[in-house]
Structure 1
Amino acid sequence: MGILNLEELKKQIKEGTFTGLESLENEFKSMLKEVLQETAKEELTSHLGYEKNQPSDNTNSRNGYNKKKLNSKYGKVDLEIPRDRDSSFEPQLVKKRETILEGSEELIVSLYAKGMSVRDIQLHLDDLYGYELSTETISNMTNKVLELAKDWQNRALDQMYPIIFMDATVLKIRIDRVVKNVAAYIMLGITAEGNKEIIGIWIGNNETSKYWLSLLNEIKNRGVEDVLIFAIDGLNGFNEAIQAIYPKAEIQRCIVHQIRSSLKFVSWKDRKAIAKDLKSVYTANNEEQALENLNEFHDIWGSKYPHIKQSWLNHWNELATFFKYPEAIKKLIYTTNPIESLNSTIKRKTKSKGSFPTIDSAFKVLYLSIQEVQNKWKNSKVRNWSEIYPQLRIFFSEIMEKYTK
């Protein structure tokens, strides 16, 4: 069929000679072969400076062909690539010693991003496209992603983020030959324009003030001078680090995490009722009413579950931050939901892997997952941002003065 001809395709279907997708893929492969070979010929003509069979003063000339096997998304393609007598010709579309077409590399990275292991990808390519790549070759391709991920992790950031969310998701990673549960901390910023931006990923079980201090210093060195509100999930020592690096920032502890913590040691038969009664605390109109409702809750449940009220009081300053703000800001900051939805996506992609062989392999998959989500966010803003941002400018007028255009 040569370059795919739809009329010829219709004719094959009508005559019953078309054998389905396999036939179509063979046509694509044939078309790919023709395009690659013709392109290589044109590249050589450009390199030599004269058409085939034309007279020329150039001492270099065409010198037959090299046979080459190229792995593509449609299987193996046998090519004849023209060569020159001086061996100075360097094809650009199909480079010397290249055995994998660029689209295949993109496919491999895409499969890796979906959570497939290197071995799974190897089997997948063999089953569907009929060629086998070594695990080393596939790993080398995905290692290019690691370089991109590290550059992304070190990129310059905005000078000011109105809101930053911080949450953790747990991954299984092999460390010292033992599979361990390791926390991956993900930071999501809301920009002044109302866009969601993943600021960074940090993998490790180091919930200490010193660790958080180092992390916050890192984002400060990347350009973040001010943060108005941190919405966090109760990470140990994080609030102290925030106060040290961003002393003017407000801290809102996630209400949903606090409810989960409250229900941790509650019997199953009481959980629904306790969750319902706790709702009166965080849905109160103001902080004073919330405290009254917490006391009423304790009157009902305190004899059976005395720890619940105390747990709320221990963290009250950070749990009650949102009461001072208008409704639109309240709804945005009182939970870490914006980042938890991202974590759900990550969990879906990592579930099939079982465990990661190294921290770097986990970092690569997280980075690829995040880029996929970030692309979906490109044209969307936080709901009611046109209402929220002016309110934040009033509440944080001292900080915002320097960002007034």
Structure 2
Amino acid sequence: MAEALSSEAIGQLVADAKASGMGLDGSGGLLNQMFKAVLERALQTELTEHLGYERNEAAGRRSGNTRNGSYPKSVSTVAGPVDLAVPRDRAGSFEPVIVPKGSRRIGQIDEMILSLYARGMSTRDISSHLQEVYGASCSPGLVSKVTDVIGAEVETWANRPLDEVYPILYIDALRVKVRHEGAVVNKSAYLVIGVDLDGVKNVLGLWLQENEGAKFWLHVLTQLKNRGLRDALIVCCDGLKGLPEAIDAVWPQAITQTCVVHLVRAAMRYVTYADQRKVASALKPVYTAANETAALEALEKVREDWGRRYPGLIDTFERAWEQFIPFLDFDQDIRRVIYTTNTIEAWNRSLRKLLKTSGHFPTDEAAVKLIYLGIRRLEGRHIDGTGKGTTLRGTGTLGWNRAMNQFKIRFGDRLPL
């Protein structure tokens, strides 16, 4: 292999291609012809292993099965369409693995289709892109079939086992437009993001629902518990209806915490652009206070300075106060990892952009499929289809080691050794 791919050998191939007027890529280019040569050689090797003897060996004369020429087949690859001569045997029992029967795409074509789809491209746009760039003939219907295959992967992902304990869970919602009974309705796609004991964030599940409530959230959290999540230390959410009651029913010891970032953002909606910087500065002593008493004093100062002009600003904090104050009881190291949700915010921005580009969806399944592909791209990982040995890369959390020491002191009896 090293000899075949040496600088001299590659240089000679490129020089010969230029001398003959052959391009490097595209149909009939050097890479295309190399694909063809390697694939045909691999197919011949497969047939030899299947028959049990080399070409022209005497052993083949009494074997009961022999080579029987070849048949043409065109396959799409990242180097463009490749025309192959696929060998066959007289008994018709040879089943190629490298280029399976019925397969018209090899290499990373399917993954490329899924990657483009996960970035919001329509099936027609993907079809046109593959034709223009790779010369691959893939109809919009074929592209749609490729993306439909992801359904089995979504099922595996949605039912995979979870860790026993997650120090932090974030629960957030995305707005999705779905066609239902001839009309387009707004639904919510709820994401549960878990931060594991190593500080790695991953999406644990995805649920699409038109109306939320305690019954719905009890169903969601019970699913997570049945998948192995027996305890959560802190659950951060944004005033979702019925969620605190469901958390208390499933994980009685969990602390329900309003997401501080969302709380501040919700309060700032009532403030004009010209005053936002001043008001944001005035709010900082509220959520950085040492305790609840200090936070109340800071909120009163905000009320004195800005309450008359922006009553909705104060009302937002007062309505969320009971779910906000647990934050004030944490050490600064824990506060920092709860408050700093940059990764989650970045995920949400990317997914919202994806949903906006796609417009509305014909079915719930289509919406879930696209959101899942977006999540898969953001997490940078794949599911192996069995649920075993799956590697979830996720993203880390800055300052996690310091926070974990505080978690151990405060929740040591609930954390694995």
Deviation at residue 125 of structure 1 after TM alignment: 1.6
For 1:290 and 1:23, the matched residues in 2 are separated by: 65
Q: 1:215 to 1:71 in 2, by over 3 A?
A: same
CA contact (8 A) 1:69 1:99 kept: yes
* Distance change >3 Å, CA 397–CA 72, structure 1 → 2: closer
In the aligned structure 1, how far is the partner of 2:145 from the partner of 2:291? 56
Letter in 2 for 1:282: Y
Q: Which of 289, 303, 310 is matched with 1:298 structurally? A: 303
What is the CA distance between 1:335 and its match in structure 2?
A: 6.0
CA separation in 2, counterparts of 1:121 and 1:348?
18
Normalised by the length of structure 2, the TM-score is: 0.87
1:393 aligns with 2:396: no
Q: How do 1:24-39 residues align onto structure 2 when only pairs under 5 Å count?
A: 26-39=29-42
Asked whether 1:378 is paired with 2:393, we answer: yes
Identify unmatched segments of 5+ residues in structure 1: none
CA contact (8 A) 1:187 1:199 kept: yes
- Stretch moving more, 210-219 or 47-56: 47-56
Q: Which residue of 2 aligns with 1:51?
A: 54
- Where does residue 128 of structure 1 map in the other structure? 133
Question: How many angstroms does 1:113 deviate by?
Answer: 2.0
1:72 aligned to 2:77?
yes
Identity of aligned residues (%): 37
CA distance 1:267–1:23, shift in 2 (3 Å): closer
1:209 corresponds to: 214
Which stretches in structure 2 are left out of the alignment for 5+ residues?
A: 382-391
Q: TM-score, normalised by structure 1?
A: 0.90
Report Cα offsets for 1:1-37 as digits up to 9, x if no partner: xx8842334535886x656554797111111111111
Give the equivalent residue in structure 1 for 2:386: none
- The letter of the residue matching 2:303 is H
Partner of 1:288: 293
Contact 2:24 2:30 in 1 (8 A): no
Query: Does the CA contact (< 8 Å) of 1:76 and 1:129 recur in 2?
Result: yes
Aligned residue in 2 for 1:7: 11
Q: CA deviation at 1:268?
A: 4.1
User: Contact 2:379–2:393 (CA<8 Å) still a contact in 1?
Assistant: yes
**1:220 and 2:235 correspond:** no
Pairs within 5 Å for 1:86-101:
86-101=91-106
Match for 2:114 among 106, 109, 115?
Answer: 109
**How far is the alpha carbon of 1:370 from its aligned partner?**
1.9
TM-superposed CA distance for 1:221, in Å, is 0.9
SS at match of 1:63: strand
- 1: CA distance, partners of 2:23 / 2:97: 34
- CA–CA separation in structure 1 for the residues paired with 2:254 and 2:240: 17
Matched residue, 1:181: 186
Q: Summarize the Cα distance change of 1:149–1:96 in structure 2 as closer, same or farther, 3 Å threshold.
A: same
Bigger Cα displacement from structure 2, 366-375 vs 44-53: 366-375
C-alpha distance in 1 between matches for 2:247 and 2:180: 30
SS of alignment partner, residue 95 of structure 1: coil
Change (3 A) 1:31 1:19: closer
Higher mean alpha-carbon deviation, 21-30 vs 157-166, is at 21-30
Task: Find the aligned partners of 2:14 and 2:25 in 1 and give their Cα distance.
Answer: 16
Aligned length: 399
Q: Which residue of 1 is the match for residue 387 of structure 2? A: none
C-alpha displacement of 1:254: 1.6
Cα RMSD for the two superposed structures? 2.5
